[in-house]
Structure 1
Amino acid sequence: MRIKKIHVQNYRSIVDSEEFEIDKNKTILVGPNEAGKTALLQAIQHLNPPSGVKPLSALRDYPRSRYSKITTGEVDPAETKVVEAEFELDDDERALLPEGMKDASYVLWRNLDNSTGHRLEGAPVRKSFADINKDLLRLAAHVDSQFTAAEGSSESKPSEKLNVITADWKTWDPILGEKAKVLLAWLDAVLPFVDEGNEKEEARYDSLKAAIGIGDARNSAVQALRKRVPVFVLFSNYFRVRPLIHLKQLAARIANSTLDEERFDYGNVCLLNLLGFTAAELSEMGTAPDPDPNNPEAMETYREKLDKRQYQLNAAEVSLTREIRSVWNPDESKGEAAKLRLRADGQYLKVTVEDDLGVEVELDQRSEGFQWLVSFFVVFFAEAEGDHKNAVLLLDEPGMSLHALKQREFRKTISRLAADNQTIYSTHSPFLVGPDELDLVRVVEMANRETGTKVHTSVTANDPAALLPLQEALGYDLAQSLFTQKQNLVLEGLTDYWYVDAVAALLRDSGDADLNEKIALVPSNTAGKVVYFATILHAQGFKVAALLDSDSAGDQAAKQDTLVHTLGNKGIMRTKDFLVSPVKSAEVEDMLRETLIDVAKSHCGWDVATVAAKQKDRPLVDIFESEIKGFSKYRLAKAFVRWSRDHTAKDLASDEREQWKKLIQAVNSALR
């Protein structure tokens, strides 16, 4: 079960976030300080929180400026939604649904008074008495005409029995539970009186039976699905692991329920859970029994316990060291070896780090970033193996104390974790947003306190500060690629980059065409800037080609003497040169015309198929801009990137495959 959409309302700084999509693996929230990212994650956790999380409170959590509506009774907490999510079901969960509901999605919400509700979206609607009453009366009249009481019997007609059953029912009463049961019994009783030759009444009977069963079928389905909802685990401040743990004292605090979870104890308890011991068990092992010549087996048992302890400590060392090194990438020539060591010594459990000389130092003597990373993996692995294995991870500003380059490595770790645990995280860091992950970004901003926190699915915001991490991420990646790759394809803009990268991956996987992986794709922002990028790269002695749209801006750029002189005719490619069917002023989007029309309808709700079919030589973007209010090239491109992750090259139209194969061959040839 994975989240598809989330909607947060009536929570602290959030009046109405508006509904926003969640990626099936990881979703990134970016935005300036005080935009409401932390509040957003806190609200989402309340959808299905782990035990121990404080419940919602109207006093604490309802937007403070509107709290008078609570005190005056204008707003009822029991009717006030805080968070609602729509889930996509996997095959196992669909198997729990009855026929006719297999394509439904599951929606769960939590109200301000901590009550929850749920429903099936896209399933047949539960019927009320008003919905079926007329058909019941018509069927009753029909079976009355076929009914003959036995001689001397005072048996009532079917219609009379129906009247008794429904005498005190209200028109709005839902048909489920006992009501559904008695109606189904009545239908079974009158079946022998339904004329087999009367197709209309036969169909009415079948329709009624199906309609009456919907309510209970939906109830059974949502109750089964409710048990499959993942736990939402918020790591807003990763608890630190102490380098030296006094086992007896920790065991006493656990026994007395006086744990200092706000500081260190939670991380320490997680470490012990990861090792498979309680503090009391390790403490007991720290005290050897007195030798007893009459009971040699006692010492042998104690020795086995110590061996087991050491083996489990060693296993934990290996797994934690492997994960830490995957992010940390220590330079052993500079003494940066990162081998974690866990030592049990009497009543103490020590956490140390071994350097390249074999010297062990306590964890708290290493950098803040390294301590954070160790604590993160300890807490995560302990929780993932426990109650939170089926969990959605909510990470608030992860890796803040890590160096920028180590944040880039940690981004890969998040992706790996997100493959099993759907992850939503907030960040200010451009190094935690990959250049190929912009379709995973949701921009969080607060224009003013009156409207509160808003979440934008498209890469847009009124506040430039909200987009700063994205701009920095692109800038850094572009700077890295400009002077490292010997072969470069300059593109007009970011959306062109997404299309070329995504389609190249599809064709590479299918074996249709293979864009040389050594070729860097360089978006230049506008057609006019292509010449600058091409000139700079060419001056460095690199091979350069450019792909330009066939619109007026592309024509103007293609005719610049500097560009022609730098790249030559072979190095300047135009979209119109690869189209099977000509399109006036063709753009990159026209090379995916049929697929983008379908993707726009299925992913964005934009339907331009009829207009596009009538105006085949008109640019697709031009059609979208005239037909769709609020059309965004970024949103369309992001939707295609998401589509490409779940499809293959065979799902592209045949003309589209041929067009892109020609383009890739031309690019490879120009940059050979």
Structure 2
Amino acid sequence: MKAKLTKFRVVNFRSIEDSGWIDAENVTCLVGTNESGKTNLLLALWKLNPANEEPIVPLVDYPRKKYHNYSNTNGEEIFIRAEFELEDAIADELSNLTGWHLNLMKDVVVSRKYNGDYDYSFVKNKLLSFQGNDLMSLFEKLISAFLISNLQSKEEKEDLRKIEQFINSEKGKIDEFKSYSQLEIIEIRKVFESFLETSYKRKVNINGFFNDHFFDDISKIIQAFEENGIEVTEGCITTIESSLPTFVYYSDYGNLDSEIYLPHIIDNFNRTDLGEKERAKSRSLKVLFDFVNLSPKQILELGKEALPERIIEYTTDYQGRKTKTNERVEDAKEVNIELERKKKKEREILLQSASTSLTKDFSSWWQQGKYIFRFQADGNHFRIWVSDDKRPDPIELEGRSKGLQWFFSFFLVFLVESKDSHSNCILLLDEPGISLHPVAQMDLIAFFNSLASENQLIYTTHSPFLVSTHNLSGVHAMYVGDSGESVVSNDLRANQKIAEKSIYPIHAAIGITVSDTLLIGCQPVLVEGISDQIYLQQIKKYVLAEGKYKNDKEVVFIPTGGVKGMSPVIRILLGREENLPYVIMDSDKPGIDKIKQLHNQLYSNNKDKVIPVSTFTGEGEFEIEDLMPKDELARLFAKHYRRVNSEDEFDYIYDKNAPIVNQMEAFAKENGYELQNGWKVDIAKDFQRNFDRIISRCGDDIKQLWINLIEKITV
């Protein structure tokens, strides 16, 4: 995508007073009860840049209890802000327009007001550090430019060799995993200036090359460390607007009827006073006819019959007065009958062609059966027939399952509204697949993940079967606050406040992912918390990718909400099957005490199924975090918690041989940070987001430890 949505914030829109900033992943899930405000959150985001030009309707969209204030605002209030990360080509274009380094151009905030106007701003006002991998890219770009420059034909070979050797030598000093300060970047520039001053002071071509391909870029980097006010010019706005994704919103109530009365549809297409549900259905019908590449008016015109003609004869007297003398009905003329035949044949071929195309495209999306669609037009009526490999007799769409009806309607809306810009639209799905069987709902998650390779997707649900076990960093809970406002939280632990007001009474005792184990023959492994689950999911992801996973069953890690939740969850799972589940426990004091209790009671004959982290790390108060590459966790923690009283940042002073969580807590205390509940989950989410980068530089010892762990629980 040209611009990736990274987070958004809704303010004063319907039931939402202030959602706070909500992180957006490739697939983001909003979980909550009915009336918690999930739909309103999607609607506000949709109206930022709707694919179908959906209007802002203040009478409906402005908070009802505050509407008396709206006349004083002139629609100048912002109701949606969204932060986007631009691809490098767009950031580079903005860099050329503003003169600032592209690292300051990558992140923009786009806001929309109730009057429809937009505001634009850049997120970063200055650089706090410059990443080594970006600096390495600068050197690689310099070398590439040097090798194809006209210096190769104009300068002496010895000079060329010396220059290339110098650049490569300086490149070799760059640590791509380090964060560089402004002073360090200035020192790099000084080295280049000294090299040219000493060896090539009088060489105009060589100095000109370095000015164009190095000093301009390095100066922009140094400048970007200074506080600045970057002006968003008209040129910037044009560039940003052209890269923004459109939003395609879909909900259940736009499902198509199997029989469509064309005159009624033609009338609705021209109306602006339809209610929300009727407008949604009209929208679904519009995309259907766009797909067929015909308008309802054309279908009616092509289906007109050659009717008999009524002939009336008159006589005219000398005063010019007409008198009816005869009336008869004549059969339709042959020329009209032939024209009718051609038009109906044309309509039949067009509908057949569209049906075949739809059937082919739909089969690549829907895996629950092989369906064949047929469009039929009969007079004023348009019908949709469906058959499949198991039931070959065509049945009207309305007679098929609600799940198929939903998916068919959603498929059309996505296919038509996003048109050729599939790779630059974001899908907003309100309660998707609620009418699907739980097995099909789980298939829908897999379908969402496949869509997310090109299209970001945000969906709402209150079904536990639509919460992905592999993407907890993208799950947010919603509930109704004390004053009736909608509240969004990324705290997925079963704390009392959210458990009472969100969906967690359903499965607070056994964690989000137990729905998977209840559905299919999975192998459950119990862990203490959500952060443990996230880390272990990533371990399993690596082992699977390496082809080292040898178990027939899918391993599902179930967080129990701490050591107190272990025994109740174990008993629940024992009600489902006789085998005791594996348990992975931290080796801190609460964990060791619980291990002893389990060994003496439920696991007295299966002690090997209770696995302390110390099995893999050696003795000490080690936790799941200590099974991860500690240097990476230290960097992630340091980004959240900067030094205040310490002599250096956490990632420079931690002890890699000691339990890292204890060190994090001690560092936070020393520097005046009060670690909030869920801070470990935030670090785990960052780890999950950066896992592909982390695994690329992870040591073999850690990777082998992960393989050993998975083998331990899949015996």
- Please give the TM-score of this superposition, normalised by the length of structure 1: 0.72
Once the two structures are TM-superposed, the CA of residue 588 in structure 1 deviates from its matched residue by 0.9
CA deviations 1:173-230 (Å, max 9, x no partner) are xxxxxxxxxxxxxxxxxxxxxxx9xxxxx99xx999x99x996786533430122212
Q: What amino acid maps onto 1:13 in structure 2? A: S
Residue equivalent to 1:281: 298
| 1:49 corresponds to | 50
Could you say if the C-alpha distance between residues 504 and 257 of structure 1 is closer, same or farther in structure 2, counting changes exceeding 3 Å? closer
2:352 is equivalent to residue 313 of structure 1 = no
Q: How far apart are the structure 1 equivalents of 2:287 and 2:567?
A: 56
CA separation of 1:414 and 1:591: change in aligned 2, threshold 3 A: closer
- 2:91 corresponds to 1:94: yes
| SS of match in other structure, 1:4 | strand
Aligned match for 1:587, one of 600, 623, 626: 623
Instruction: Indicate the RMSD between aligned Cα atoms, in angstroms.
Output: 4.3
User: 1:12/1:659 Cα in 2 relative to 1: closer, same or farther (>3 Å)?
Assistant: same
Tell whether the 8 Å contact from 1:89 to 1:105 is kept in structure 2 after alignment. yes
Q: Does 1:634 align with 2:681?
A: yes
Distance 1:515 1:434 in 2: 23
Q: How far apart are the structure 1 equivalents of 2:505 and 2:534?
A: 15
Q: Which amino acid in structure 2 is aligned with residue 307 of structure 1?
A: I
2:450 to 393, 410, 416: 416
Please report how far the alpha carbon of residue 346 of structure 1 lies from its aligned counterpart in structure 2 after TM superposition: 4.9
Once the 2 structures are TM-superposed, how far is the Cα of residue 465 of structure 1 from its aligned partner? 4.1
Partner of 2:650: 610
The answer to whether structure 1 residue 509 and structure 2 residue 526 are counterparts is: no
Q: How much does 1:663 deviate?
A: 2.9
Question: How far apart are the structure 1 equivalents of 2:519 and 2:457?
Answer: 34
Q: Which amino acid aligns with 1:41?
A: L
Flag the 1:348–1:114 CA change in 2: closer, same or farther, 3 A: closer
- Offset at 1:601? 3.8
Shift of 1:505: 1.4
Q: Is the aligned partner of 1:349 residue 2:378?
A: no
Change in 2 beyond 3 A, CA 1:386/1:271: farther
Mapped partners of 1:207, 1:476: distance in 2: 50
* 2:635 equivalent among 598, 601, 605: 598
Indicate how the Cα distance of structure 1 residues 539 and 253 shifts in structure 2: closer, same or farther if over 3 A, else same: closer
- 1:196-595 aligned at under 5 Å gives the runs 219-247=234-262, 250-251=265-266, 254=269, 261-262=278-279, 264-287=281-304, 306-320=348-362, 323-324=365-366, 326=367, 329=368, 339-354=372-387, 356=390, 358-385=392-419, 390-449=424-483, 452-459=485-492, 462-468=497-503, 472=507, 477-478=513-514, 481=517, 485=521, 489-510=525-546, 514=549, 516=551, 518=553, 520-523=555-558, 525=560, 526-527=562-563, 542=579, 545-559=582-596, 560-562=599-601, 565-568=604-607, 570-579=608-617, 584-592=620-628, 593-595=630-632
Deviation by residue 1:612-658 (Cα, 9 ceiling, x = unmatched): 835555533334445142152222223322222x4352333555334
Give the secondary-structure state (helix, strand or coil) at the position aligned to 1:349.
strand
Query: What amino acid sits opposite 1:613 in the alignment?
Result: I
1:84 aligns with 2:81: yes
CA contact (8 A) 1:28 1:440 kept: yes
C-alpha displacement of 1:61: 4.1
* Alpha-carbon distance in 2 for matches of 1:431, 1:486: 14
CA contact (8 A) 2:95 2:102 kept: yes
CA–CA distance in 2 between the matches of 1:33 and 1:306? 44
Q: SS state of the match for residue 266, structure 1?
A: helix
Q: Cα gap change, 1:65/1:411 in structure 2, threshold over 3 Å: closer, same or farther?
A: same
Cα distance, 1:297 vs structure 2: 11
Match of 1:106 in 2: 108
Question: Does structure 2 conserve the Cα–Cα contact (< 8 Å) formed by 1:495 and 1:637?
Answer: yes
**Offset from partner CA, 1:25-75 (integer Å, 9 cap, x none):** 221112233332222222222322345423253x6544444456556x5x6
Distance 1:237 1:484 in 2: 27
Alignment of 1:27-176 (within 5 A): 27-50=28-51, 52-55=53-56, 57=58, 61-66=61-66, 77-78=75-76, 80-98=77-95, 100-103=100-103, 104-122=106-124
Q: Given the alignment of the two structures, is residue 649 of structure 1 paired with residue 684 of structure 2, yes or no? A: no
Mean CA deviation greater in 585-594 or 462-471? 462-471
Aligned to 1:199: none
Counterpart-to-counterpart distance in 2, 1:247 and 1:371: 20
Report the alpha carbon displacement of residue 253 of structure 1 after superposing the two structures with TM: 6.0
Paired residue type of 2:636: V
How far 1:386 moved relative to its partner?
A: 6.7
SS in 1 for 2:459: strand
Instruction: Give a deviation string over 1:514-557, Cα, whole Å, max 9, x none.
Output: 46463624436244665777787699564864432211123223
Q: 1:605 to 1:98 in 2, by over 3 A?
A: same
Report the secondary structure of 2:35's partner residue.
Answer: coil
Give 1:88 shift: 1.0
d(CA) in 1 for partners of 2:461, 2:86: 29
* Equivalent AA in structure 2 for residue 47 of structure 1: L
Q: For the residues of structure 2 that align with 1:446 and 1:252, how far apart are their CA atoms?
A: 40
Equivalent position amino acid for 1:102 in 2: L
- Are the counterparts in 1 of residues 516 and 522 from structure 2 also a CA contact under 8 Å? no
In structure 2, what is the Cα distance between the partners aligned to 1:519 and 1:306? 49
Give the structure 2 partner of residue 18 of structure 1. Answer: 20
Letter in 2 for 1:577: T
What residue is the counterpart of 2:661 in the other structure?
Answer: 621
C-alpha separation between the residues in 1 aligned to 2:42 and 2:342? 52
Deviation at 1:665, TM superposition (A): 4.5
SS in 2 for 1:48: coil
* AA at the equivalent of 1:353: V
1:481-536: CA deviation from partner (whole Å, max 9, x where unpaired) = 3796586644344432321221231244356x546463624436244665777787
Residue type of the alignment partner of 2:123 = E
Gaps of 5+ in 1: 126-195, 197-201, 331-336
Cross-structure match for 1:171 = none
The amino acid that maps onto 1:478 is V
What secondary structure is seen at the aligned counterpart in 2 of 1:402?
A: coil
Distance 1:465 1:545, change over 3 A: closer
Give the Cα separation in 2 of the matches to 1:403 and 1:34.
23
Aligned partners of 2:576, 2:42: CA distance in 1, in Å? 48
> Is the 8 Å Cα contact of residues 269 and 282 (structure 2) preserved in structure 1?
no
What SS does the aligned partner of 1:566 have?
A: coil
Change (3 A) 1:299 1:33: closer
AA aligned to 1:19 is: W
